Amino acid sequence: MKLYSTLGRTFVASVALLVLGGLLSLAAVPTNQPLSKDDVTLLLLGSSPSAKIIQMVEQRGVDFQMSPELAKKFHDQGASDDLIDALQKAGNKAAAKASAPAPTPPPAPSAAAAPSAPPAPEPSLGGKPNAPDAPEPRAVEAPPAAPVTPNAPSSSEPVLHTRKSADSAAAPAASAPSPAPAAPSMASSSAPDTHEPAKKESSPAVSGISSAPGLKDPDAAGIQHIIHEFAAKEKVFREARNNYTYHQINKVQELGAENEVVGTYEQEWDILYDDSGKRIEKVTYAPLNTLKGLIVTQEDIEGFRNIQPFVLTTDELPEYDIKYLGHVKVDQITAYVFSIRPKEIEKNRQYFQGVVWVDDQDLQIVKSEGKQVPNAKIKHGQENLFPRFTTWREQVDGKFWFPTYTMADDTLYFEGGPPIHMKEVVRYTDYKQFKSRVRIMTVESIDRPKDQTTPAATPPKK
């Protein structure tokens, strides 16, 4: 998204003074006091080197524990993987220290050993005895060992349903997946995280995010096998999607100070493919664009097409650093979680950076959360910023997990103007099998229903 116009440098100076003031106040904190989440955020906003922050974390420790959401937040603010690991270790150390049993007070001397009993404390003005000189030690209650229960998604959120196969019609009714709930509107609250992996003992295969109890982590060789398997299936998935037509709704809303809608951009497309597999987009609905402070750029349109319905095939694997994070339960399924970051940013190219969930049975990506990178500065000093989004997939025909819903609820901070709160929803509906010349050899063949006719391809306009 791009800002319509620049507003001078007053706002920039104010932000710079705010960050500088925060850093100065952070420097004034006693060096023996642990770092808070806000302290780490201020250091990252002040562009402090990761090595320097790691040194402070090791010297002072932290007063919080890392979570998947916090790790992603720090990543987005520029934290390196080494810094995330250091924060994870410091948080575990602080938790272990807090849960350690309190020291046992020394036994009182026996009556035979004491020459005389100490005088009784004098009553205080409140009618209670004064406190003794040495405070009585208190036992520190250890945190419960029970795992953290994942957050239950609200009725309006997309849910990753129980897997179904092509032969699911013969399965008992009790095992059939529940129907997908209605998707929330743009004016609804942001999509909350669908899980919070419970804490477990550290494993050499896991860094930054803990796996859920009862779910085993694969070894290093197993992780590489999973990565290559899901990447191979993603390549098949991309080819399979060329055998389907579908309808795509793209909607962006700009919100005001009271979260009221002040402007809307919306387009709907019919996505068709000709016999050669060439993509054809037909705009079916495009009301007047009423956005006030935002401009939907060509890079945003490209994000609607390729980044938000993120696909990571075998061909793209060399372009990304992929890190295993854990084995978790999300909604009604269990999945492996991977961090995805581009190794290098090539000019005039857009990438995905974030986290993906890979179904641990089908070994297909079922959910992705992250953002389109890099943000770019374009002519006249304007910026092109992209929101953080979450994309859910749903099984189609019992074989492939196709993207069905994308949601973003984010605030874009422009250097040349005020921050803008925006929401975005992309829906993918009406998947229908379409006969094309693309033939898929590595999965079960996809047969077109007998009563389905092939729609005529719409020729591109000149």
8 in a domain, yes or no?
yes
| 26-30, 183-187, 287-291, range with the lowest pLDDT | 183-187
Higher pLDDT, 377 or 422: 422
Residue where a domain terminates, one of 62, 97, 132? 97
Residue where a domain terminates, one of 67, 97, 127? 97
457 in a domain, yes or no?
no
Range of the domain at 216: 184-194+204-433
- Residue 218: pLDDT band (50, 70, 90) is very high
| 105-109, 277-281, 430-434, range with the lowest pLDDT | 105-109
- Cβ(192)–Cβ(429) below 8 Å: no
For residues 87 and 188, state if they share a domain. no
Domains: count for the chain: 2
- Cβ(401)–Cβ(367) below 8 Å: no
- Residue 289: pLDDT band (50, 70, 90) is very high
CA torsion, ordered 279, 280, 284, 287, to nearest 10 deg = 80
Question: What secondary structure does DSSP assign to 109-136, as a single string?
Answer: PPTTT-SSPPPPPPB-TTSSBPPPSSPP
Round the average pLDDT of the chain to a whole number and report it: 73
Calculate what percentage of the chain has a pLDDT beyond 70.
Answer: 62
The CATH number of whichever domain residue 256 belongs to comes to 2.50.20
For residues 71 and 189, state if they share a domain. no
13-63 tens-digit pLDDT: 444 554 455 444 444 445 568 888 888 887 887 667 888 899 889 888 998
All residues at 6 or more sequence positions from 107 whose CB lies less than 8 Å from its CB, including other chains? none
42 in a domain, yes or no?
yes
The answer for 43, left when phi > 0, alpha when psi is -120 to 50, beta otherwise, is: alpha
51-98 tens-digit pLDDT: 889 988 988 899 888 887 788 788 777 888 788 888 988 888 888 777
User: Tell me, what's the pLDDT at 312?
Assistant: 94
For the segment 431-447, the average pLDDT, to the nearest whole number, is: 53
Higher pLDDT, 74 or 229: 229
For residues 363 and 235, state if they share a domain. yes
- Residue 139: pLDDT band (50, 70, 90) is very low
For residues 209 and 358, state if they share a domain. yes
Higher pLDDT, 157 or 408: 408
For residues 254 and 371, state if they share a domain. yes
349 in a domain, yes or no?
yes
| Cα torsion 33, 37, 38, 44: sign | positive
| 80-84, 150-154, 318-322, range with the lowest pLDDT | 150-154
116 in a domain, yes or no?
no
User: Tell me, what's the pLDDT at 10?
Assistant: 46
User: Tell me, what's the pLDDT at 445?
Assistant: 34
161 in a domain, yes or no?
no
Residue where a domain terminates, one of 97, 114, 129? 97
For the segment 318-327, the average pLDDT, to the nearest whole number, is: 96
Place of tokens 């979680």: 337
Look at residues 296, 432, 313, 448 and name the one whose alpha carbon lies nearest to residue 372: 296
User: Tell me, what's the pLDDT at 397?
Assistant: 81
Quote the CA–CA distance of 68 and 334 in Å, as a whole number: 16
User: Tell me, what's the pLDDT at 279?
Assistant: 73
| 89-93, 160-164, 197-201, 403-407, range with the lowest pLDDT | 197-201
